Amino acid sequence: MILDFIYIIVGVTLVLLGADRLTDGASALARRFGVPEMVIGLTIVACGTSMPEFFVSLMSALNGTSDMAVGNVLGSNIMNTMLIVGCAAMVAPMVISPSTVRKDIPFAIGASVLLLLLCIDSAISRLDGIILLVGFALFMAYTLWQAKGNKTEDAGSVKQQNPWLSVAYIVLGLAGLVFGSNLFVDSASNVATALGVSQSVIGLTIVAGGTSLPELATSVVAARKGQSAIAIGNVIGSNVFNILLILGATAAITPLQLEGITLVDMGVMLGSIFLVWLFSFTRYTVERWEGSVLLVGYLAYLGWLLYH
């Protein structure tokens, strides 16, 4: 167990370093090519930080543990909107653009509602998976179309970074995020098992927490650097990726049966993103006190989950 604790520390360190490199590289590319940072956050950063969820959910489904696959996505989305946005907002108030409030967050809410409807029969079939993948294709098409009409002004006074160096930062950052989070998940799961924690709790808490470490680190680092567009874009994009792409692809490969996932878990996932949307209307900013509300809400949900 001592070795597992060492691996946990190493994993967290890799995630933090990876998040820092990824944020720098993505932000530099956004400035150089005139692409809004929000779009970078919704696509490149969100895709990269969602890779741990994809690998964990896919392997869990292939190994016959569907609850782990779905629980990982639900737990990750809840952590994204409550823990990550809460922590990032407490570090620095998160400014959210009006277009994000009007379009991007409602899309994430729509994806959550779609998942809830597809899970009414306690299963996600291959057809359901295809429906989710079609929704993901629509989301990507919309995001890229939006990028064409929202070019950022050229910051001539800002020193431009070599694009290849920016790409190298992104690749190194993603590598650190993926390897670090995997190391954290494996080691933390070993510790939890040794302490007698059930597999369902491990899936919804430790595994979801480990696979959400990239989002947490990336968003907090981006918020600290004043790049709130990347921070909130990463969260929203990751939530959409988790539901539409990860569960869609996983269910298309092998149908998922839901047994340990409850309506409470689904409701908290939907309610949390809706709460972030409501907070966004207050001067288009998630203030520090609103971040604390989200954080307390997550701790309450975690306490309920552990109690039951």
- Does residue 110 register a pLDDT over 90? yes
DSSP of 219-267: HHHHHHTT-HHHHHHHHHHHHHIIIIIIIHHHHHHS-EE-SS--HHHHH
DSSP 8-state code for residue 36:
-
pLDDT band at residue 210 using 50, 70 and 90 as cut-offs: confident
pTM exceeding 0.85: no
Q: Does residue 236 have a pLDDT over 60? A: yes
pLDDT at 155: 43
In 39-113 the beta strands, taken as DSSP E runs, fall at 94-95
Q: Is 14 exposed, middle or buried (0-12, 13-18, 19+ CB in 10 A)?
A: buried
Quick one: pLDDT at residue 306? 79
Whether the Cβ atoms of residue 19 and residue 217 lie closer than 8 Å to each other: yes
Chain centroid to CA 207: how far? 13
- Share the mean pLDDT of the chain: 80
Please write the tens of the pLDDT for every residue from 243-293: 998 899 999 988 888 877 788 889 999 999 999 999 988 778 888 999 999
pLDDT of residue 243: 93
The closest alpha carbon to 208, from 105, 106, 60, 85, belongs to 60
- Is 58 in contact with 249 (CB distance < 8 Å)? yes
| Between residues 143 and 200, the one the model is more confident about | 143
Residue 182 pLDDT exceeds 80: no
What is the pLDDT, as a whole number, of residue 38? 64
Looking at the predicted structure, is the pLDDT value of residue 79 above 70? yes
**The tokens of 186 are what?**
């494996």
Instruction: Please give the pLDDT value at position 37.
Output: 65
> So what's the pLDDT on residue 149?
59
Helices 228-240 & 208-224, crossing angle to 10 degrees? Answer: 160
Contact, 119 vs 132, CB < 8 A?
no
Gap between the Cα atoms of 30 and 197, Å rounded: 43
